[in-house]
C-alpha cells in the first residue's frame, strides 16, 4: 500500500506550476499515471523513488515512512527497494547484458534469480554483449530484467515503451503484465498512450498541470461514463476528388490511409490538409482476433 502526498513547484514550458498530488495505491496493483507531457508525471515517479525531493511531501510505503518533510525524514533511494525503468533505459555501457542484471543483485541476493530473469526475458543469446549493440526492444528487456533483479517491492516504469514500434511494444506489454501478475509487485507506469494504459493498468490517475483530475478504471476514465455506439477517428485529408455526383476523400488515420465517400455539400467545406473527424456506426463490425 502506498500513500503519497506530494507538493512541488515545477517549471514547465508555460511558466511555473504546482505539482499537488495525493494518491493511494493498494498492494499488488498495476496503476498508470496518464496525461500529456510536462504535467509532472515523471517528477512524481522520481519523488516516489527518492531521486527528487519534494517541497512538501508525505510518502508511506506499507506503513513505513519514506518521506515526511515535516519530520525531516527522507529515506535514501538506496534503501527504498524500488525497481525503476528509465525512459532512456540507463543501462551501464561498461557492463555486459548479464553484468547489468547482476549489478542489481543485493548482498545475499539470490544468484539463481539472474539466470531465471535472463531466461525469462529471452536474453540468453545476448547476455555477453554490451548494451550499445542492442536494439531498442532488447535494451528495454534488459532494463526490465535489471529492475526486477533487485527484488523490488515497488516497480516504477517511466514511459518505458514510448520509443518502440507497435509490434515490439505489444509483445512487451504482454510480458510486463505476465511478470507483474506472477510476482504481484505493485507497479506504477507513466504513459501518455491510451491503448497502453487500457491494456496494462487496473487503475488510472489522469493528470493535468500537476493535479490528478480523474481517477478510476481505464474504462471509466477514458469513456467518462458515456459509452457510445460509434467509432470516432481523427485524421488528415490527403486528397479530395469529385466522383460522379459524390466526392472521394482520402484520409490519413493514424498510420492507415482510408478512402471514404463524401456528399457534395460536405465536400464543399473541406480541403486537402484539413483535420477531420470521421464518425461511423459501431454496430456489429467484423471482429478479427489478433495474435
Among 86, 198, 222, 233, binds another protein (CB under 8 A): 86
Cα 27 to Cα 1, 33, 59, 84: the distances in Å are 5, 16, 15, 17
Q: Which of 79, 245, 288, 290 is close enough to bind another protein by CB under 8 A?
A: 79
* Size of interface with another protein, in residues (CB under 8 A): 24
Q: Collapse the DSSP code of 136 into the 3-class scheme (helix H, G, I; strand E, B; otherwise coil) and give the result.
A: helix
CB of 33 to another protein, least distance (A): 18
**CB nearer to another protein: pick between 121 and 221:** 121
- Which three-class secondary structure state does DSSP give residue 259? strand
Name the residue among 240, 238, 196, 198 with its Cα closest to residue 216.
198
Provide the β-strand partners of residue 278.
233
- The C-alpha torsion from 254 through 258 and 260 to 264, rounded to 10°, is 70
Q: Is residue 132 involved in binding another protein (CB under 8 A)?
A: no
Task: Please identify, using beta-carbon distances, which residue of 6 and 104 lies nearer to another protein.
Answer: 104
**Chain residues 27-66 in contact with another protein, contact rule CB under 8 A:** 49-51
Within positions 141 to 200, which residues make up the interface with another protein, using CB under 8 A?
146, 150
93 binds another protein (CB under 8 A): yes
Among 77, 136, 137, 216, binds another protein (CB under 8 A): 77
C-alpha cell of residue 164: 518502440
- Which residue among 63, 88, 244, 255 contacts another protein (CB under 8 A)? 88
> CB count, 10 Å around CB of 277?
9
Strands (E), the chain: 2-12, 15-25, 30-34, 56-61, 64-68, 73-74, 82-85, 154-158, 186-191, 203-208, 211-216, 230-243, 246-253, 256-262, 275-281
Q: Closest CB to another protein among 86 and 222?
A: 86
- List 94, 182, 255, 269, residue binding another protein (CB under 8 A): 94
> Count of CB atoms within 10 A of residue 244's CB?
6
Q: Applying CB under 8 A, which part among 16-24, 53-61, 72-80, 272-280 lies near another protein?
A: 72-80
> What are the residues binding another protein (CB under 8 A)?
49-51, 76-84, 86-88, 90, 92-94, 103-104, 106, 146, 150
Amino acid at each position: 500500500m502506498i500513500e503519497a502526498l506530494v507538493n512541488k513547484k515545477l517549471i514547465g514550458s508555460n511558466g511555473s506550476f504546482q505539482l499537488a498530488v495525493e494518491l493511494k495505491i493498494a498492494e499488488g496493483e498495476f496503476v498508470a499515471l496518464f496525461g500529456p507531457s510536462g504535467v509532472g508525471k515523471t517528477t512524481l515517479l522520481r519523488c516516489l523513488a527518492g531521486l527528487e525531493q519534494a517541497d512538501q511531501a508525505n510518502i508511506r510505503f506499507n506503513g513505513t515512512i519514506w518521506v515526511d518533510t515535516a519530520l525531516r525524514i527522507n529515506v535514501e533511494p538506496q534503501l527504498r527497494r524500488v525497481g525503476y525503468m528509465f525512459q532512456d533505459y540507463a543501462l551501464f555501457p561498461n557492463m555486459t547484458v548479464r553484468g547489468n542484471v547482476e549489478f542489481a543483485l543485493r548482498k545475499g541476493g539470490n544468484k539463481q534469480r539472474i539466470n531465471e530473469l535472463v531466461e525469462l526475458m529471452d536474453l540468453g543469446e545476448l547476455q555477453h554483449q554490451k548494451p550499445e549493440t542492442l536494439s531498442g526492444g532488447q535494451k528495454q528487456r534488459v532494463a526490465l530484467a535489471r529492475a526486477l533483479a533487485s527484488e523490488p517491492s515497488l516497480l516504477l516504469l517511466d514511459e518505458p515503451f514510448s520509443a518502440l514500434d507497435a509490434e515490439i511494444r505489444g509483445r512487451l506489454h504482454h510480458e510486463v503484465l505476465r511478470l507483474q501478475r506472477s510476482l504481484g509487485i505493485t507497479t506504477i507506469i507513466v504513459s501518455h498512450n491510451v491503448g497502453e494504459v487500457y491494456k496494462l493498468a487496473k487503475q488510472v490517475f489522469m493528470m493535468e498541470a500537476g493535479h490528478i483530475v480523474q481517477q478510476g478504471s481505464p474504462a471509466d476514465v477514458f469513456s467518462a461514463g458515456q459509452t457510445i455506439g460509434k467509432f470516432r477517428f481523427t485524421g488528415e485529408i490527403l486528397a479530395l476528388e469529385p466522383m460522379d455526383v459524390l466526392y472521394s476523400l482520402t484520409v490519413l488515420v493514424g498510420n492507415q490511409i482510408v478512402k471514404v465517400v463524401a456528399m457534395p455539400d460536405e465536400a464543399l467545406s473541406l480541403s486537402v490538409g484539413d483535420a477531420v473527424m470521421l464518425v461511423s456506426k459501431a454496430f456489429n463490425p467484423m471482429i478479427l482476433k489478433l495474435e
